[in-house]
Amino acid sequence: MCELMGMSAFRATDVNHSLELLQPRGGEIGPHADGWGVAFYDGRAARIFKEPIPASESRCLSFIASHCYQSRVVVGHIRKANPARFGRATANTHPFCRELGGRSWVFAHNGKLPGIDQARFHPHRFQPIGDTDSERAFCYLMDRVAEHWSGGGAPPPDRLAGWLSEPIAALSELGIFNMLLSDGDNLVVFANERLHALHRDCDEGGQEQHVLLLATQPLTDEPWRPVELGVVHVARDGDFVVPAGASTLTAVRAGG
């Protein structure tokens, strides 16, 4: 299957080192050779880079990983096509993006959702461009959010979690559903199989920084913790804020 990478931070920062560690897993030391993508938020807008080629062979990703793009929210993905007939294509490459309420919403998924062609999951306002169950799940979730939200800033984290809890549970019943979804302020995190998190407290240029990193498999030898399965989490400003008190991660002091 695929691998996810995400970040929520109190202040804009880069994820250069995380991308450098993730890149070889996309076709060199890992089987996820069917595409890569990463979204950096700049306010309400997401700057998205992606290619339907192995991450390990991408000069574009190497450039990005050394270019110090800074953001408060990042969503990354390396892809292994499953099923293989939905192969390498830009339309099938994560992360996916849609507009709602005057901001970019970005989604990436690890897993497989047989049965998502059921009528209850058919898209309405938001339509898939590619062939994947992942993008269809994204459109289904966006339809549900659009029932409650039309703009005026980012939704409150607790309300967003409430709107998404039932549709996420329905998708989770279909199969493996590990996902990241963001509106540029909130980062919705869910896993029913595997996802890890690391909370760092850093000093960057004399300013206090809080960073929450997420990855399917730990990227470093730091004390990553498994994300609680079957629970909708929302991260904001570098920490989990939903459920309240969910951040039981060990904070790591880092030099920047």
d(CA 56, CA 255): 28
Res 251: pLDDT: 42
Contact of 4 with 214, CB cutoff 8 Å: yes
Contact of 100 with 141, CB cutoff 8 Å: no
Q: Is 152 left (phi over 0), alpha (psi -120 to 50) or beta?
A: left
Residue carrying structure tokens 């030099």:
255
Work out the pLDDT band at 34, boundaries 50, 70, 90: confident
Contact of 234 with 157, CB cutoff 8 Å: yes
Give the mean pLDDT of 36-57: 96
Contact of 208 with 246, CB cutoff 8 Å: no
Work out the pLDDT band at 202, boundaries 50, 70, 90: confident
**Does residue 188 or residue 253 have the better pLDDT?**
188
**Does residue 155 or residue 252 have the better pLDDT?**
155
Res 253: pLDDT: 42
In the predicted model, is pLDDT for residue 225 greater than 60?
yes
Write the pLDDT tens digit of every residue in 73-125.
999 999 977 766 777 899 999 999 999 999 999 999 999 999 999 999 999 99
Locate 7 and state its tokens: 């970040």
Catalytic positions: 2
CATH (residue range 3-254): 3.60.20.10
Contact of 3 with 231, CB cutoff 8 Å: no
Contact of 40 with 47, CB cutoff 8 Å: yes
